[in-house]
């Protein structure tokens, strides 16, 4: 999946799906309208770039770079048609965004944590746009303050940016989730269009 926006500060953009067939990238379907963070994009904190453009917790920016896709999630008890692992969001599921917590940037079941050490988290079942979604594997090393809880999820419409996730219309998200296949190692490339063009050849991008 390739997500591009006009500039670092753009909220609106598009997502285009590709698959590599016989060594060649082939586009699948039409571009999907998306939104990123309310402040735009910022480099993955693990990429050596100017400090002013690096993703930080609470900055309202979505991470720029290349990321694998983890589990799908949603309000439904199960999702047998998906080709990703699936987590049903019951009331006790939280994503911890407190950088001082030992559970930072983890999705956990609060009932299974004897002594919760966080003061801030996303109670995912209570967030309407998490009715369906998937985890973007960002900051897997859980560096404190580098950013947390990055997902693909349902949007609130064009121009309505997120806290740092990538969001799209519900029907398009359903289509994307149904296409994603864990066995094919799906990835998300996310960059401003000029930067995408700059790195396209060296990163072997579509």
Residue 80 backbone dihedrals phi, psi, to 5 degrees: -65, -20
CA gap 131, 125 in Å, rounded: 8
CA gap 166, 175 in Å, rounded: 15
3-state SS, residue 149: coil
Q: Does 90 reside within a domain?
A: yes
DSSP 146: S
Q: Does 204 reside within a domain?
A: no
pTM of the model: 0.95
Q: Does 161 reside within a domain?
A: yes
Burial class (CB in 10 A: 0-12, 13-18, 19+), 130: buried
- Given pLDDT bands bounded at 50, 70 and 90, which one contains residue 74? very high
Number of domains in the chain: 1
- Structural domain of 195: 2-199
Q: Is a pLDDT exceeding 60 seen at residue 48? A: no
Task: Scan for tokens 């699936």, then name that residue.
Answer: 86
- What Å distances lie between residue 68 and 20, 40, 126, 155, 194, CA to CA? 16, 20, 26, 21, 22
Q: pLDDT tens, 132-159? A: 999 999 999 999 999 999 999 999 999 9
- Least confident interval from 4-13, 48-57, 94-103, 178-187: 48-57
Q: Is a pLDDT exceeding 70 seen at residue 182? A: yes
């Amino acid at each position: 999946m390739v997500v591009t926006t006009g500039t670092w500060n753009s909220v609106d953009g598009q997502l285009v799906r590709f698959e590599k067939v016989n060594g060649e990238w082939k586009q699948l379907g039409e571009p999907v309208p998306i939104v990123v963070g309310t402040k735009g994009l910022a480099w993955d904190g693990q990429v050596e770039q100017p400090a002013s453009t690096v993703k930080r917790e609470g900055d309202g920016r979505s991470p720029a770079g290349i990321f694998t896709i983890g589990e799908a999630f949603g309000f439904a008890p199960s999702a047998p048609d998906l080709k990703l692992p699936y987590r049903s969001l019951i009331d006790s599921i939280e994503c911890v965004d407190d950088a001082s917590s030992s559970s930072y940037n983890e999705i956990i079941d609060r009932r299974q944590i004897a002594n919760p050490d966080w003061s801030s988290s996303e109670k995912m079942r209570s967030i309407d746009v998490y009715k369906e979604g998937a985890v973007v594997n960002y900051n897997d090393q859980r560096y404190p303050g580098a950013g947390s809880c990055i997902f693909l999820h349902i949007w609130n419409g064009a121009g309505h940016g997120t806290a740092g996730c990538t969001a799209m219309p519900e029907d398009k998200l359903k289509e994307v989730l149904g296409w994603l296949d864990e066995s094919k190692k799906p990835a998300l490339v996310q960059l401003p269009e000029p930067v995408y063009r700059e790195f396209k050849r060296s990163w072997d991008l579509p």
